[in-house]
Structure 1
Amino acid sequence: MKISVTSYLTLIFFVLFFHTFSSCSYNKYQICNEKYCKTKGIFRENEWYCHYECALSCIQGGCYDQALICLNNAEKLKKDNTDRKMVRTYAMHFVDYFLHREKGIIFYRTGKYKQALKELSLSISHEPSERAYTYLDKTRSKIFIQNRLAETTPQISINGIADYDKIIWTNKKKISISGIVSDEQYVSAIIIQQKSLFIQSSNKIIPFYNEFILPEGKQPVVIKAMNIMKNEAEKTITFFVDRSGPLIQIHKISNNIFKGIVSDESGEITFQVNNYSTQIIKEKSYFFSIPFDPNAKFLKYKAKDKLGNKTTGNLSLIKNRHLVAFNSSTISDIPLLTIGNGSPPKLELNHIKSSNVNAYRDNIEISGFVEYNQKIKSFFINKKKINKTPVIKMDFNQSIMLKKGLNEILFELHYDSNAILSKTIKIERKIQKIYQTAQRRSLYFRKVENTDSENFIFQKLLIKKLKKTNRFKIIAFSNSNCIIVDLPRIISHNIKLDDPEKELEALIQIENLKGEVLSNIDAYCDVSGKGRSYQLKFLAERIVEHIIRKYPLIDGSLKIESNSQFVVTPDKIIPDEILIKFKNKSIKCDEIIQPGNGVILYKKDDLDCTFGCETKIVGNSSVKGIYSFKYSINPIHLQNHFENIRGINQ
């Protein structure tokens, strides 16, 4: 078959056209890999974004010389070479433009660490990104090795702790520790109680703050820190948590003498009976024998430990009876289960009037007494034995930790040979209304249509982990009060050309209903050897950490100032480290809240605060103006007084 000259020239033209406009090849260098250094569409020599796209393709293929040429050409063509997310290319097309970051990564991979350090630092100064932070740490560690610097370990300093061997006694509901970790070779991780604290980027000095709940007893708390050279340091603080009051065990009352044992783990007890002088006891367990007025009608006694935990009791002294105990607020409608012979003993609980109780905090104290004339052998709360010796009466004030939801507290009193008296209290651990998800701002995720895609899997993980924080109300359809999370982007980066392990980057964009960008959030994972599934979970957790810090929950007291402004002063912020930064004045209100944000006004419901108070919503408003460390809200009419009213953002 003959081919005409015209057809032949046309064929040559299309070959040259395809080669010129679909790949970023330069005469100076031969393409190192034909699969890379290409653009998806037509390559336009005079457009910076074509050179930039080509550079990214070259980096994926390990063609670093060609990648630098492409980046340099993009830099010459583009007027503003600031690293930024979502830069317009043409029409409605956008690209994340990180010229300096990509140069830094090339220099790192080619062993030019000083140049890498310069470019990566410049990129972060323009637009912080986790990928840049990751490679900055890698670069610094290579420089330390190259300069043969002696390796260091992090120095952990905890506020208020001078002697780390000394046991810290506390009765606090929540334990908080704060301090500083420092290291010339950059602190990269801080772990408290096996939980990693959120760190945006490594630094030579990183302050930390953490709150947690500990059960009663001796509890070691381990703080670990790591630098970018993977060297670790560790310190242990030992707490003795004691939220329970002293135990008062009465053995005998005869001949106008009150006998028994008062005990407490703290080893320091203040004990008083009626108007007799107070005894200060420096023992864990103390046998007392106290005379009383034969004309006395009752005995009133109280014990307090060194932390301020108290137990109180009363005895009515009636002729022909050893004991008749009384209390004004005891359970009256809880059925008793008595097994065995003999008259049943008494088991009564203070301040609990029903077998079903609501609680609004994680730790509660239950006080009461048990009594039996023929002596009580053993008394148990949730299978934990309370008394050490047989008694005829015992007063207690025990701390109990609750889990979310329903908790059953079992009280068992063993007496006679095989007799048992038991009571069960059901306590519902509830979340205060103001902190429930229903009161939070709505968050709508644009749906990923391809259910088999990696983006769909990632979005599903992201929603699941975000729901656990209770920070947003996740909705299926957008509404007038929602913010929108755009479709996620998962970018896979080759580490080495033939290596199946990839570095993963996740990016999401959050918008308002007008389509205005509120924030761009990224996460990066260079963990290899654990599989793609692990990497996606890691990225989802990291993105969620960024979101709740970008949109913290801000709680504060409401006051009317002299200029008739309704002003909220934050005193509680979630997450905790945002609160510490706010108190230290390293961040201000305009960094954590924006005008127009919804604000709910509430106060504590004082009907029953035995185990924490429920909250009552009294109005709704929105942020009007923002000052350094407080913000004003739009005026609102409240029927009640403004006393004790607080404001929390949606």
Structure 2
Amino acid sequence: MKFYISVTLTIFIFIFYCVACNSVDQSSPKIKNGRVYGEIPHFKHQWYHYYARGLSFAEGHFFSDACSDLQTAIHKRTKDQRNARTYGFHYMDYFPHRELGIIYYRQKKIKLAINQLKLSLSSEKSARAEFYLDLARKDLIQSDKLDHHPPNIVITSPKHTDFRNTPDLTIQGYVTDDTFVKKIDIEKRPVRMDLSQKKKTFTMNFSLKPGQNEILIQAEDISGKISHVSLNITLDRIPPLIAVDQLFEKEALNKIVISANIFDSNGLERFVIDEYAQNANGLQQIKISKTLPLKPNQKQIHIQVYDKAGNCTQAFIPIKDHTKAIFSNQLLAGDFMTDDSRKSILLSQQSTDNIGNRDSIFPVINLRFPREKKVTFLDFMYLEGSVQDNDEVSHLSVNGKNLLPFAGKKIFFNHIIPLKKGKNVINLSAMDPSGNSTGRTLKVTRQVPGVEQHEARLKIAIANFERDISATILSKCKNFENLLYIEMKKKQRFTLIHPEKLNVKKRRINDQEKEKIDEKSALLTAKTLHADYVMFGKITENQDNMTIYIRLVDTELPDTIEDIAVGVYTENVDRDQLFVLAQGLNFKLADELPLLKGLITRIMGDEILVDIGRKDNIKKGMKLIIYHIEKIKDPKTDIVIWEKFSNNGQARIESPQEAFSMAKLMKNKGLSDQKTQQQIITK
């Protein structure tokens, strides 16, 4: 009997305690400016009830009550998490550490704020936590006067910053600070920094323009101190000129005498005549007069001239056995001359006899490269050849630009001409002092390989975003999806499917009032549209702040491939700020899914090893396009004179490592071990 009385009493006390607690919680709402805060229907002491009520109190600036509820929520469920399951099919974003840190920041409890915000980010990344952690760090540094120096910028590549002969430049380095690095810009292009860091490494690719390039790298720390360094790099793609004036054979001494001028506007590095080599010490022009031994059965003289950028011009001058005066005050046909050129010279010489002393012999242009090249995948054309005249060549131009700083009997030249996409016309013209002029016209079409075209990039279908809008405000983020679509289309990193084409319906989840996107339906629809990813998003908008969070879900493997997720946050809730947020999301997405090139280093059945990895921001599930451009080079100059393109299928990253990755073939057109140096590009 006593046992039953004891049990009954215990149950009664428990029920009384629960009722008492509920009555206290239900009586806790606060009223401010006619609005009620902290009122949660059907409050059942669950972690999500305390969290929701804490947010409500925080919105009304009842910070003591908010802290109490958030701490209770943390005690019941420790870690911050997106889409935390409450009950049934109900989910919510749960960030108690973040919101508690923001309250501490507003209460000027800076160290407590930093601790809570770091705990939040250690569990789940969010733009709002990053924003407030940087604010708290800045306040602490300024109040304790911890910032003594501006950031220190170190460039690790390129090592030499004077002259280059290729336009592609990769700048690598790092920035350190005695507090935190907040911002890095390279020639006004930002390095992605979601959160300030003690040390930030960076890599950025540039395309240099011809001539001098000044690239400014600027870094700013969290307190606003700024430092900068400049790289001065000259892109020189114009090789030196060689003008041969005389070439005599001293028969008795078995020697050859050569007289020539060499020139480069940015400075000569060295020159080589057969086996004789000499440094040029950066001089722009050198007059060469050299006597060299003539080897038995020697057929030609080989001249090589290098400039400071590494460009090289070569001349192969034939030695004629039948004459002692090989090249002196007369026209030398040379080994580049065609039969048509010889005929034109003969006709010109005949016309000279008819008109007396007047020079009517036209200069002759001989091209070694290109050889009937009409289509190319390269973004430049390489010209190599010579021009000669019985008197001297005074003018040689390519597309109207004169290349000659001086006149000469026979000019050897190399020239690189940038090509635009599509058809290109190249005009060469040579003239002698008498005004005799010769012209050549070349036509070439530059094709962009299919793997580099915009249509080959990842296809993303944009779904309409979910919205969590405060009941007290008029939303300013209507049609944000369309704004983001326009911004992403403008940058052309991805191909896109507009939300209207996806046309995914919303559905209710049980008795939940808010409608949610039917993700399964969206993925199925996007797959029929051949999309690689579906973009889902959520916009949270309050009176004084806005958060936009988006994630990409793989249409083929939605349950096995980790989502790509980024977010932005602002406290400037203004219509114009939406453009900035759209730019920020696109910038972060392009960084999460970078457009990279690499090489296949090994093939193992249906798996390949590639030379890009986590250091390049490569992630599991990313798709690769495999292709090969066979480059045919001239054996004498090592210059690419022809190329052939082939698309060999696709692969998906399976296991990314720091410097390399393992990928599995998806669409294989016949890879073999003999083709391990094939190229890959991220889709």
TM range (shorter): 0.7 to 0.9
Q: 2:60 aligned with 1:34, yes or no? A: no
Is contact 2:653-2:661 (8 Å) kept? no
> Structure 1 residues 284-293 or 124-133, which shifts more?
284-293
Q: 2:332 corresponds to which residue?
A: 323
Is contact 1:382-1:410 (8 Å) kept? yes
CA distance in 2, matches of 1:554, 1:312: 33
Q: 2:546 aligned with 1:546, yes or no? A: no
**CA offsets 1:147-201 (integer angstroms, 9 cap, x no match):** 1334421011222689xxx853333442223222111220011111221112232
Q: 2:541 corresponds to which residue?
A: 492
**SS in structure 2 at match of 1:532:** coil
Q: CA deviation at 1:310?
A: 1.3
Change (3 A) 1:426 1:129: farther
Change (3 A) 1:642 1:327: same
**SS in structure 1 at match of 2:526:** coil
Letter in 1 for 2:371: K
Change (3 A) 1:149 1:390: same
Change (3 A) 1:132 1:453: closer
**SS in structure 2 at match of 1:136:** helix
Letter in 2 for 1:102: E
CA distance in 2, matches of 1:420, 1:62: 85
Q: 1:398 corresponds to which residue?
A: 415
Q: 1:519 corresponds to which residue?
A: 563
Q: 1:3 corresponds to which residue?
A: none
Q: 2:304 aligned with 1:287, yes or no? A: no
Is contact 2:429-2:439 (8 Å) kept? yes
**SS in structure 2 at match of 1:454:** coil
Change (3 A) 1:348 1:190: farther
**SS in structure 2 at match of 1:289:** strand
Q: 1:264 corresponds to which residue?
A: 264
**CA offsets 1:246-277 (integer angstroms, 9 cap, x no match):** 2112445689864331023454443344x463
Letter in 2 for 1:86: N
Q: 1:15 corresponds to which residue?
A: none
CA distance in 2, matches of 1:370, 1:169: 28
Is contact 2:29-2:36 (8 Å) kept? no
Letter in 2 for 1:543: L
Q: 1:350 corresponds to which residue?
A: 368
CA distance in 2, matches of 1:140, 1:263: 58
Q: 2:619 corresponds to which residue?
A: 592
**CA offsets 1:406-443 (integer angstroms, 9 cap, x no match):** 55545444545666655554555543333344444432
CA distance in 1, matches of 2:314, 2:90: 73
Number of matched pairs: 583
> Structure 1 residues 98-107 or 611-620, which shifts more?
611-620
> Structure 1 residues 125-134 or 261-270, which shifts more?
261-270
Letter in 2 for 1:324: A
Change (3 A) 1:625 1:389: closer
CA distance in 2, matches of 1:543, 1:404: 30
**SS in structure 1 at match of 2:175:** strand
**SS in structure 2 at match of 1:209:** strand
Q: CA deviation at 1:234?
A: 0.9
What is the TM-score when the length of structure 2 is the normalising length? 0.72
Q: 2:538 aligned with 1:478, yes or no? A: no
Q: CA deviation at 1:624?
A: 6.2
Is contact 2:426-2:443 (8 Å) kept? yes
Kindly report the root-mean-square deviation, in angstroms, between the aligned alpha carbons of the 2 structures. Answer: 4.2
Change (3 A) 1:109 1:612: farther
CA distance in 2, matches of 1:440, 1:425: 33
Is contact 2:381-2:418 (8 Å) kept? yes
Is contact 1:524-1:539 (8 Å) kept? yes
Q: CA deviation at 1:394?
A: 1.9
What is the TM-score when the length of structure 1 is the normalising length? 0.76
Change (3 A) 1:95 1:639: closer
Is contact 2:566-2:589 (8 Å) kept? no
**CA offsets 1:118-157 (integer angstroms, 9 cap, x no match):** 1111111111122211211110110112213344210112
Letter in 2 for 1:444: A
Alignment partner of 2:674 out of 624, 635, 642: 642
Q: CA deviation at 1:278?
A: 3.2
Change (3 A) 1:408 1:204: farther
> Structure 1 residues 109-118 or 435-444, which shifts more?
435-444
**CA offsets 1:607-639 (integer angstroms, 9 cap, x no match):** 789367453123455566677743253696837
Q: Which runs of 5+ in 2 are unaligned?
A: 1-23, 251-256, 324-328, 342-358, 468-474, 502-524, 634-638
Is contact 1:368-1:395 (8 Å) kept? yes
Q: Which runs of 5+ in 1 are unaligned?
A: 1-23, 333-340, 496-502
Alignment partner of 1:631 out of 657, 662, 665: 662
**SS in structure 1 at match of 2:627:** strand
Q: 1:85 corresponds to which residue?
A: 82
Alignment partner of 1:111 out of 88, 101, 108: 108
Aligned-pair identity in percent equals: 23
Is contact 2:477-2:575 (8 Å) kept? no
Q: 2:387 corresponds to which residue?
A: 370
Q: 2:253 corresponds to which residue?
A: none
Change (3 A) 1:249 1:569: same
CA distance in 2, matches of 1:485, 1:187: 34
Change (3 A) 1:150 1:447: closer
CA distance in 2, matches of 1:312, 1:154: 48
Q: 1:615 corresponds to which residue?
A: 645
Aligned pairs for 1:110-259 within 5 A: 110-159=107-156, 168-251=162-245, 258-259=258-259
**SS in structure 2 at match of 1:478:** helix
Is contact 1:624-1:634 (8 Å) kept? no
Q: 2:611 aligned with 1:571, yes or no? A: yes
Is contact 1:445-1:487 (8 Å) kept? yes
Q: CA deviation at 1:204?
A: 0.7
Q: 2:402 aligned with 1:385, yes or no? A: yes
Change (3 A) 1:626 1:523: closer
CA distance in 1, matches of 2:118, 2:155: 30
Letter in 2 for 1:153: P
Change (3 A) 1:324 1:446: same
Letter in 1 for 2:261: I
> Structure 1 residues 511-520 or 151-160, which shifts more?
511-520
Is contact 1:355-1:424 (8 Å) kept? no
